[in-house]
Amino acid sequence: MAEDEMTQAENEISDAENVNEEAAAPVDETAHEIAHAHIPSDTTDVLGITLPFPIYTAVFVILAVLTVIEVVVGTGSSGAVIAIILAAIAFGKAYLVVSYYMHLRTDNRLFTYTLVFPLIVGILGILWLILVAPEAGGVE
């Protein structure tokens, strides 16, 4: 549920970003040099409404909201489903930071691979270590 919310928000943001990209089209030579940095504009368009702050602030608000949702979902209840939802939200937040704050959406694709490949290696490593770990922890 929370995840859906997130992806929805995300799509809107990416739409907004596309618009901004055109708005920030380079005009002179110096702008040419740095244009690949994709400087977002000072406003964010969400659902047709223009909000008076940049996309980064919008992402921050979403991150904060997701954190609140996480805490609400996570405290008190537990179980496999809850754990999966929480993990999904956490990865969603990480995705937002990585793609917007660390600019992976617009930067060199190679950087994405540089992050994703070790991530796969690391996650497989963690899963393996959990798999082979002994059931009970020795002498209590």
Partner 1 sequence: MATITAPLDRPLEGKRPHINEYLRWSVDHKIIGVQYMVTALFFFIVGGALAMMIRAELLTPALDVAASGQQFNTIFSMHGTIMIFGWIIPMMAGFGNYFVPLQLGAKDMAFPWLNAFAFWLIPPAGMLLILSWFIGPIEAGWTAYPPLSTLFSGDGQTLAALSLHLLGISSILGAINFIVTIKNMRPPGMGYFQMPLFTWTILATALIIVLATPFLAGALTLLILDRIGGTKFFDAANGGDVLLWQNVFWFYSHPAVYIMVLPGMGILSEVLAVHSRKSIFGYKLVALSSLGIALIGFTVWAHHMFTSLTPELRIPFMITSMIIAVPTGIKVFSWLATIWMGKIRFTAAMLFGLGFLSMFVIGGISGVMLATLPFDIHVHDTYFVVSHLHFVLFGGAVFAIYAGIYHWFPKVTGRMLDERLGRLHFFITYVSFFLTFFPMNFAGMLGMPRRVAVYDPKFQTLNVIISIAGFVLGVSTFILFYNMFDSLRHGKKASANPWRALTLEWATSSPPPSTNFIEDPVPMSDPYGYGTTEAEAYLYGQEQQFGPLKPAHFEAALLAAASDDSDPLPEGAGD
Partner 2 sequence: MAQLVETHGHTHDHESPQAKAENLKFAMWLYLASEVIIFSILIAAFAIFRVRQPEMVDEAREALSISFVSVNTFVLLASSWAMVMGLLAIQKGNNESMVRWIGLTGVLGLTFVLLQLVEYQELRHEGIALYSETAGRFGQRFYPLTAFHGAHVIVGVIWAFIVMFKGIKRQYSPTNYIGIEIFGLYWHFVDVVWIILFTMIYLI
Contact set with partner 1 (CB under 8 A): 110, 117-118, 121, 125, 128-129, 132-134, 137-140
Minimum CB–partner distance for residue 33 and partner 1 (Å): 17
The mark string for 4-23 relative to partner 2 (x by CB under 8 A, - otherwise) is --------------------
The least CB distance from residue 67 to partner 2, in Å, is 6
- Which of 116, 120, 86, 121 is closest to 99 using CA atoms? 116
CA 122 to chain centre: 19
Site string for partner 2, 46-85 (x = CB under 8 A): --------x-xx-xx--xx--xx-xx-xxx------xx--
CA distance 34 to 56: 19
**Judged by CB under 8 A, which of 7, 8, 23, 87 binds partner 2?**
87
